[in-house]
Amino acid sequence: MDRRSFLSRSLALGCTAAASPLVTPVAFASGPWENRLVVIILRGGMDGLDVVRPVGDPDFAALRSPATDGEPPFGTGFYAFHPALAPLAPLWADGSFGAVHAVSTPYRDKRSHFDGQDILEAGTGGVNARRTDGWLNRMLHTVPGLSADTAYAIGQEQMLILEGDAATARWSPEARLQISAQARRLLDVVTHDDPLFRSAMDQAVAITDQLKGDAEAIESITENMMGDSMMASVAGGQHTKLVEFAVTRLLSDTRIASFSLNGWDTHQDQHRSMPRVLSNLSDVILMLRAGLGPVWEKTAILCLTEFGRTARQNGTRGTDHGTGGAVLYAGGALRGGQVNGAWPGLQEADLYARRDLMPMGDVRATAGHVMQSLFGFNREIIEGSIFPGLQMADGPGIVL
């Protein structure tokens, strides 16, 4: 799509930068939805068994070193959450944070990060059914007339989950573009015949134009977010900037945002690395809640990873690539305070390939139920177009 149609579609939906004062965002919302969906890709393979510990399973203790990292902050009795998630205790208590356990994508056996992430983001049935578009994009594609900024991929990396035929927006909070009007016209000339460059250039110009109007609003949102004393690292790390940007978009016309958090590949000394990445994640969730304010009630956050890790701790106080794992979720639009999903058990015969947590459900079904509830997609669309071949069965009861 060129810049003109990007802008005109935005205009048609009444969302120029000038017309979207962020203080009253809801009144100017675009698209058919008020609800927001944030998909966070946890790259590296989050160890679901360490984050949501099945302490009530008699075989769990033998698989892992005894936990010496403190009292579980919350849980269900059978499950205890990792102590680094303690800042999320109020969300667990008010039902806006929870988990689905023993789930995975259909990816099996090779346990490659890179294939695993591609399959997670493509939402397909496995390596043999590879696609070059992502499931969030296919979801958008089923709804005609959406503006490109309905969905944002945020950060410097490509996000396959939002790639595809539907127009989406991509930006990174650190990108800038200040050019003269004439240079802008000449840039059109020198990128015009190459669709890849033309589209990137047009979007860069359109997005920076739009962001100029938002500068003040961003400042006040940042203040709100930083006022939350529960956050572990208040000073602006990379993830802080991602979330600030996501919040400004979600308070404006954006309904779907996706970005990734790295660092989950805990092969070694997991007791040291896991608290770091989990407190980043809990910061991100708390910042989204503080920044979104009343919109939090209309928001669902799904934290998805390419695979779980070995049930048994490895020889270096870490875990290797596995299969079944957990989905973490948050937001006022979901039913938290619970750990959903069927439990396979942890005896050797219960494990996948006698090694990994056995997946009892498909991650895509969890995402499918959320889309059904948030955006009103029917099952045929989800199982036919968004996740081809998926059998959703009964919903994980995480939707309201």
Q: Which parts of this chain interact with another protein (CB under 8 A)?
A: 43-44, 109-115, 127, 156-158, 163, 169-172, 174-180, 182-183, 186-187, 189-194, 196-198, 200-201, 203-204, 207-208, 262, 265, 267-268, 314-316, 318, 320-321, 353, 355
Nearer to another protein, 144 or 315 (CB): 315
Nearer to another protein, 3 or 101 (CB): 3
In whole angstroms, the minimum distance from the beta carbon of 202 to another protein comes to: 8
In whole angstroms, the minimum distance from the beta carbon of 176 to another protein comes to: 6
In whole angstroms, the minimum distance from the beta carbon of 326 to another protein comes to: 21
Cβ–Cβ under 8 Å, residues 43 and 321: no
In whole angstroms, the minimum distance from the beta carbon of 374 to another protein comes to: 26
In whole angstroms, the minimum distance from the beta carbon of 207 to another protein comes to: 6
Nearer to another protein, 88 or 304 (CB): 304
Nearer to another protein, 57 or 149 (CB): 149
In whole angstroms, the minimum distance from the beta carbon of 151 to another protein comes to: 13
In whole angstroms, the minimum distance from the beta carbon of 304 to another protein comes to: 16
**Single-letter amino acid, residue 239:** H
Nearer to another protein, 68 or 178 (CB): 178
**Single-letter amino acid, residue 116:** G
Nearer to another protein, 165 or 194 (CB): 194
Phi, psi of 77 (to 5 degrees): 100, -65
In whole angstroms, the minimum distance from the beta carbon of 378 to another protein comes to: 32
Task: Convert the chain into a string of H (helix), E (strand) and C (coil).
Answer: CCHHHHHHHHHHCCCCHHHCCCCCHHHHCCCCCCCEEEEEEEECCCCHHHHEECCCCCCHHHHCCCCCCCCCCCECCCCEECHHHHHHHHHHHCCCEEEEEEEECCCCCCCCHHHHHHHHHHCCCCHHHCCCCCHHHHHHHCCCCCCHHHEEEECCCCCHHHCCCCCCEEECCCCCCCCCHHHHHHHHHHHCCCHHHHHHHHHHHHHHHHHHCCHHHHHHHHHHHHCCCCCCCCCCCHHHHHHHHHHHHHHCCCCEEEEEEECCCCCCCHHHHHHHHHHHHHHHHHHHHHHHHHHHHHEEEEEEECCCEECCCCCCCCCCECCCEEEEEECCCECCCCEECCCCCCCHHHCECCCECCCCEEHHHHHHHHHHHHHCCCHHHHHHHHCCCCCCCCCCCCEC
Nearer to another protein, 96 or 266 (CB): 266
Nearer to another protein, 207 or 221 (CB): 207
Token output for 82: 């990792």
Specify the pairing of strand 97-104 against strand 80-81.
Answer: unpaired
Nearer to another protein, 12 or 186 (CB): 186
In whole angstroms, the minimum distance from the beta carbon of 257 to another protein comes to: 14
Contacts of 26 (CB under 8 A, 6+ apart): 34, 294, 295
In whole angstroms, the minimum distance from the beta carbon of 104 to another protein comes to: 15
Nearer to another protein, 18 or 189 (CB): 189
